[in-house]
Structure 1
């Protein structure tokens, strides 16, 4: 603990210095605080900056405590309220209550946030219990649940424009305060949480021996895990209710505490809240210093989001080896069609028929109508590009998902968690904020550059370490989480650029040109042909690295080529239609479950099914809110989320 005693005072001094730097121009108010006799500067200091500084310490301590508790009980060094989906669940519950049931907020935001956080945690822990709480399994499940909740919250927020500014700013994790009520609330939560954690320290020490050993000593393992999970969720949800989504502090604090020499459960629970308080205080001090010079609000969640992704990737090699949920064997034996060509022909014909019907039918002010030839000719230049783009993007995402699922032997693999979509989103946002009036070419270039950079970083990280396939997937999830946190905070600026980014993130094909749609279709065909050329790899890789290597497969080359193809397909679809969700997860499963098991048949069926799913999503986005167009990403998410939940809660074997 020598390093801890040295570093903590230095960090505390840095936090105080940054806070004083931001507040140096404001006079210190007298006590007691009475706004009647205070100047405007004193009011801002006494009821704004001072409670903000205190609440940064309290919130950081609460998140550090929550993360430490979760890491101890799950024996998982990358568990925290963000990676397990708790914060995103609380965020979604508060967004839905704000928009659809504002009367529920009369009793305060804490019960709603607690409900959402418990629901998300309950789902993740249910999955984990069925897979022996394997670390990789828990994090993959938690991050996917979190991404699902965040996607739904973003889409619903965009669909309710009158709530856009307040919800986006809140979701960014701003520590702006107007009085001392938040300090009082979090002080009570931290005091009660710390006392409860102290009471649970001894059972946690027994549980650290392992579930079987703890049960042999008479410990009720299930009850202890439940009590600890409820405590961690309650503490983290309280912070979300008070301040919004502040990511990864609960991951950083215990990791930094261990790196500074803390060993054992007691020191970890004691020092993690202190380190978390300093981490968030330093981040907020930097935000205040920038705000003082630029005068523009920028939420503290931006900097905490920047910490999380790189830290999670750094911690990946420390994870114990484990099998991800739902390997090919655990999912059971799928039926194998003797003549798959007939089914593929039927699916292809059905896709063409559906596309033709969607061209002819639509809604008018008087109801549904079938277009006459004259109207069809007028609407064809507008409808044809978006239909082609929707089908091509669905096919590209489905091909990417099929390749990734076979590469990792993991049915939870999908292009949305590879990190390419997240990187492309950051590229789009960077161009939007850097250029006053960016052209379509500039946005396209920035989007592709962001996706390529994310893929390059992922490949560089995994290639040097020869990581197992499931770790590659988890590294991609870390990149996606990093991008999601940064985008959420960036959009909290709340101006027209935030609206442009949020609109694009939700997914829309209305602005696609025919040339762009045809280009995406050509790329999807090229990826399909490339997948057919690698059929032998795709048939052998699900058997595991030892078997694949024994059969002469160059594992490093195979992984590199397949990830590049999957990343290219995902990046191209993202450029045209935004980072759509879950088509790359569902289509390969549906293809396999109907009997298309061989690699060539699986790829072809996945592409056709993915194209059909995206046509359905595009049609729903256009027609459900007529005459206004709703977010395409909302419909893709509503199709994919139930499938994802069903898939993850299945018992293996």
Structure 2
């Protein structure tokens, strides 16, 4: 026990030492060269080094720990009140709401930013949280329901922000950098404005420590006279405000709010008071270490990288290594209780979805716009030259949606958790990383090489995930947290690669957005072949997965080969994700949305769930591809982004229309 405590403290001291070393290495020589007179004395406007140090580097050094601490505290508040280790400003959609509000203000009401940028961000954050909690109320605020609603809202708002940037790149180009977190400073004003806001929130949070501790007693807390609703609302309000203030000041640094409290807990902060102190310290150290390391890299190479993405590159491995120290909290039972519905005949779901898919496919092939932008239906000779373009895109997008939805069903069934999906667990990001390796290492990779590399990356990501949680099993918060950390790390690596400006890596920008621009007959044929080979496996696989529905322990007692079933199912999920991701990228979220739509429609058995989700995913992406090439004619929008814009509201509507539980 003593050695375990010492090891945990050693990790914390190592993080602190690395942070201090980065600060000294970056600023130490410059401060020593300036001397006290130039650094603190009367300022000469011609002394560029002194001006740069006093009005850029030192304010930046002060801003990094302040923002990191604020996000760490916000994450700790969210996780404590919602009783969920996955709750954070990013997984609840709070940061996405604040970012979207600022983008809308820049486009349509820039005067609002003059009245107060913080107020705009706070309004967006409050709006996003309101939608999340409204959806969660349909499920009695169960933990998984809250996170699922947050993921849906966050994905939707992020996709909407990205779409606005694509449509108005000349006015919102700066949001590309701001959206990844930028700590660059020109004076002390932003820090001096943010400091009292964060300080007031921290003081109020300290006053809530004792009530939040009592809150863990549930009904006993009510008997002690605690105003439960007021305490929860106050803590959530503080967390939302901290997030909005930070996003307004430096942009979106999404990983810290999730990682800092988790790392603090893994370092031994079991009590709330300790965690409320340690989580901000961890967040401050992570963001400061990242920013100082970035400045050293920029000075050495001239390469500019966004702080938010690189924070994930440094923080995700730390969280990944410490995941074993976290308590294993089962989440399957809560997820099932919160999200299951009464059974409904599958035919009542399949028929309308299949008819919708057929209608959308016909529209995508025959409808379009002419050279003047008018809507037309093309037949005969007019259609012939367009079929070479439209038919492969429609076929590829439909099959990609079906395969991603299948992967989502497999992962959700195996983990017995409705939040599991290729996007959340890093499988899509693994495929993207394999694609990046192929683009860098091969001179002119073809479809077969890219498919093989993406498959290796997706399966490798699943393998890393299994290694991280092999002792705890697939069910529980560790698997989801490890998956989120892995996805964040890989996507951050892809963002860093694209930020280098390498022409080979720039191909990933189009891929990440989910573009079907390059779909042709060859890629459609590869996807169709994968689809045909997959279909015969589904009945057998569904029966095997059904055996695990009561839990691995009970299935093993009945003679089921649990490990073999899990390996085969995960291998199939990785392969189909890789094949689909080559067409629609990493951010379509069909793997999360489509299985949930079908589940909320009342389909519970595994094989009908797979079939319904595949039909729904195909319909979503066919519709997204058609709208992407027509609504902003003659320009095109990525199908991956539009699938999130279409699927998010559909799932939210299904959730709102279900009976209260």
Is the structural similarity TM-score above 0.5?
yes
Aligned partner of 1:640 in structure 2 is 647
* Cα gap change, 1:32 to 1:307, in 2 (>3 Å): closer
* Cα gap change, 1:554 to 1:124, in 2 (>3 Å): farther
**C-alpha deviation, 1:49, in angstroms:** 0.9
More moved, 493-502 vs 44-53: 493-502
**C-alpha deviation, 1:227, in angstroms:** 0.6
**C-alpha deviation, 1:421, in angstroms:** 1.0
Aligned partner of 2:365 in structure 1 is 359
The yes-or-no answer on 1:525 pairing with 2:532 is: yes
**C-alpha deviation, 1:261, in angstroms:** 5.5
Return the alpha-carbon distance in structure 1 between the equivalents of residues 569 and 428 of structure 2: 16
Aligned partner of 2:26 in structure 1 is 19
Which residues in structure 2 correspond to 1:39-78 (within 5 Å)?
A: 39-78=47-86
The yes-or-no answer on 1:373 pairing with 2:380 is: yes
Return the alpha-carbon distance in structure 1 between the equivalents of residues 341 and 293 of structure 2: 52
Aligned partner of 1:303 in structure 2 is 310
Return the alpha-carbon distance in structure 1 between the equivalents of residues 103 and 627 of structure 2: 23
Return the alpha-carbon distance in structure 1 between the equivalents of residues 553 and 264 of structure 2: 37
Q: Is the 8 A contact 1:18 1:282 kept in 2?
A: no
Which residues in structure 2 correspond to 1:73-112 (within 5 Å)?
A: 73-112=81-120
**C-alpha deviation, 1:646, in angstroms:** 4.2
Return the alpha-carbon distance in structure 2 between the equivalents of residues 332 and 253 of structure 1: 36
SS at match of 1:93: helix
The yes-or-no answer on 1:268 pairing with 2:275 is: yes
**Runs of 5+ unmatched residues, structure 1:** none
Which residues in structure 2 correspond to 1:33-182 (within 5 Å)?
A: 37-125=45-133, 138-163=146-171, 165-182=173-190
**C-alpha deviation, 1:147, in angstroms:** 3.6
* Cα gap change, 1:570 to 1:584, in 2 (>3 Å): same
More moved, 628-637 vs 353-362: 353-362
**C-alpha deviation, 1:226, in angstroms:** 0.6
Return the alpha-carbon distance in structure 1 between the equivalents of residues 206 and 360 of structure 2: 61
Aligned partner of 2:409 in structure 1 is 402
With the length of structure 2 as denominator, give the TM-score of the two structures: 0.86
Residue deviations 1:486-523 (CA, integer Å, cap 9, x gap)? 44555556787786433222222221120110110111
Return the alpha-carbon distance in structure 2 between the equivalents of residues 505 and 36 of structure 1: 47
Return the alpha-carbon distance in structure 2 between the equivalents of residues 123 and 423 of structure 1: 31
Q: Is the 8 A contact 2:85 2:477 kept in 1?
A: no
Return the alpha-carbon distance in structure 2 between the equivalents of residues 603 and 259 of structure 1: 37
Q: Is the 8 A contact 1:410 1:470 kept in 2?
A: no
**C-alpha deviation, 1:83, in angstroms:** 3.8
SS at match of 2:344: coil
Aligned partner of 1:535 in structure 2 is 542
SS at match of 1:327: helix
Aligned partner of 1:331 in structure 2 is 340
SS at match of 2:199: helix
Q: 2:327 aligns with which of 295, 305, 318?
A: 318
* Cα gap change, 1:286 to 1:587, in 2 (>3 Å): closer
With the length of structure 1 as denominator, give the TM-score of the two structures: 0.87
The yes-or-no answer on 1:450 pairing with 2:472 is: no
Return the alpha-carbon distance in structure 2 between the equivalents of residues 412 and 377 of structure 1: 43
Which residues in structure 2 correspond to 1:596-615 (within 5 Å)?
A: 599-615=606-622
Return the alpha-carbon distance in structure 2 between the equivalents of residues 295 and 435 of structure 1: 24
Which residues in structure 2 correspond to 1:116-515 (within 5 Å)?
A: 116-125=124-133, 138-163=146-171, 165-208=173-216, 210-258=217-265, 264-310=271-317, 313=320, 314-315=322-323, 317-323=326-332, 327=336, 330-336=339-345, 340=347, 351-352=357-358, 354-366=360-372, 367-429=374-436, 434=440, 439-440=445-446, 444=451, 446-468=453-475, 472-473=479-480, 475-488=482-495, 491=498, 500-515=507-522
Number of positions where the alignment pairs a residue of Structure 1 with one of Structure 2 = 648
Return the alpha-carbon distance in structure 2 between the equivalents of residues 625 and 63 of structure 1: 37
More moved, 51-60 vs 600-609: 600-609
**Runs of 5+ unmatched residues, structure 2:** none
**C-alpha deviation, 1:171, in angstroms:** 1.3
Residue deviations 1:554-603 (CA, integer Å, cap 9, x gap)? 23222222222122111110012323524334444555677766544443
Q: CA RMSD in A?
A: 3.6
Q: Is the 8 A contact 1:506 1:580 kept in 2?
A: yes
More moved, 360-369 vs 634-643: 360-369
